[in-house]
Amino acid sequence: MITTLRPVAADAAAVARVRLTDPDAIRRAAAARPRFDPARLARPLFILAADHPARGAIAAGGDPTAMGDRHELLARCVEALSRPGVDGFLGTADLVEDLTLLGALDGKLVLGSMNRGGLPGATFELDDRFGGYDARGIAEGGLDGGKMLLRIDPADPGTARTLTGTAHAVNELAERRLIALIEPFRSVREDGRVRNILEPDAQIWANNIAQGLGRTSARTWLKVPVVPDMERMMASTTLPTLLLGGEGGGDPDAMYASWQNALRIEHVRGLIIGRTMLFPADGNVSAAIDTAVSLLGRDGDPR
């Protein structure tokens, strides 16, 4: 059972009223939001990710619907984003707008999630259409870039549409001088389910495909899993790279140790973690965030 955190319940209810009575308040809040200082890109980053629900992936911490309670999810995001050392947020427009109205994204690097059409278990899962943010919306909303999930299965024809959609998004973001964050995997469908192959050679293959998409890679970053033989895997790219956390597991100490080891690689530029931080096994969001931030080696630089 997930421990409930509801410190912003009243504010979340106010957000719902604003959405009904004054929807233009979202645009005004986005325009007034203090922006991220680009000078902070020189240090390792910690970014909170919460774009899972828009793809129907709402399970976390052993609860099949944990992320489906929007008020609970907002409370956890607000707590996480308030911790020292948290630099940014990745989400879909609904969450970005809620958190902007709550003031939780002030001064943060914000990335909009772009292709959320590949629903888990669907026959079209690997035809991952761009149904979320587009480059225009990211620019107009004052965001810093967009994120694309790129699962590549040579046996699934839907992959071709995802590849071309990703290339178009890279181009459109680059035209606006915005970050294009690609999350590539080599994937396979087994017994009707898509599985990402978390092995070094598979990730090297996927990284090389992802970084070649679009007219320019000048503003392209990668988001990759921690796999065995990380140094060899990371030698496949020169792009700035963030580590994803996945769903977590039964040994948080081993998880943190694997992140710390990977962060020693020079162009691994930080962590972009979601469910393992928002729904940790002990229920303590703040402690989970503080532990992850401590791995970045930013002593004396709490913000």
Q: Which CATH number fits the domain that encloses residue 31?
A: 3.20.20.70
Residue 229 lies in a domain: yes
Domain range for residue 21?
Answer: 9-294
**pLDDT tens per residue, the chain (303 residues)?**
344 444 455 688 888 899 999 999 999 999 999 999 999 999 999 999 999 999 999 998 888 998 999 999 999 999 999 999 999 999 999 999 999 999 999 999 999 999 999 998 899 999 999 999 999 999 999 999 999 999 999 999 999 999 999 999 999 999 999 999 999 999 999 988 999 999 999 999 999 999 999 999 999 999 999 999 999 999 999 999 999 986 655 688 899 999 999 999 999 999 999 999 999 988 899 999 999 999 998 764 544
Residue 253 lies in a domain: yes
Counting every residue written for the chain, the total comes to 303
Q: Which amino acid is at 8?
A: V
Q: Which of these, 258, 271, 277, lies nearest to 298 by C-alpha position?
A: 271
Residue 302 lies in a domain: no
Residue 301 lies in a domain: no
Total domains, the chain? 1
Alpha helices in the chain (DSSP H): 9-21, 24-32, 70-81, 93-101, 135-140, 158-175, 200-211, 230-234, 252-262, 275-278, 285-294
The model's pTM: 0.93
